[in-house]
Amino acid sequence: MRAFYFDDIPGDQRLLHDSGIPVSDEILKSTGLLHWHIPTSQQNQIDTVAKERSYRNRDIITITKDGLGDLYEAKLKSFYEEHMHEDEEIRYILEGSGFFDIREHPSDSWIRCQVDAGDLLVLPAGIYHRFTLDENNMIKALRLFKDEPKWTPFKRDSSTDVNPYRVDYLKGLAVN
């Protein structure tokens, strides 16, 4: 995984948008984001991470124009709207590539995380983020869940700013 500050230049969200300013592992850690690279030939290591972090359920999501058909553009648009979840978001990239953008606190800058096959990302509950495919227009990912699979996005607004999971996320940053 490669991380850098988003350039904020208008245009296709699937383009690189690399500002030329890299983001260090230390900065990523300060946001609460965790990441590993586990080659897809060694997927059994995912079971070890899942056990250590109490992930009990999983499924696979594939995002392609052919697979989603008429819903493709609407899904990409919804994934790219800034939001948070009340659970960790865990993705292990099996095939393809894309971008997870996370908000750095307190600067509110976007950090773009470029992911490819073998990358495992854990976004903490309460972090503002968004997702998009890159120009390859395809990603297949294993999604891991602590409990029953669910994916409920809460769009950023004044109510999410006071959401208990967001508040806890910010308190956790203050401790570190």
* Binding site per annotation, positions: 83, 85, 89, 129
Binding site residue list for Fe(2+): 83, 85, 89, 129
**In this structure, what token pair is assigned to residue 159?**
């109510």
Distance in Å from the first CA to the final CA of the chain:
23
Binding site residue list for Ni(2+): 83, 85, 89, 129
Report the C-alpha gap between 39 and 17 in whole angstroms.
26
**In this structure, what token pair is assigned to residue 154?**
């809460």
* H or E element in which residue 119 lies: strand 119-123
Cα–Cα separations (whole angstroms), residue 161 to 40, 92, 142, 144, 155 = 37, 28, 29, 25, 10
Residue 34 Cα to chain centre, angstroms? 10
Report the C-alpha gap between 166 and 172 in whole angstroms.
10
Number of H helices, E strands in the chain: 6, 11
**In this structure, what token pair is assigned to residue 7?**
């350039």
- Give the CA diameter of the chain: 45
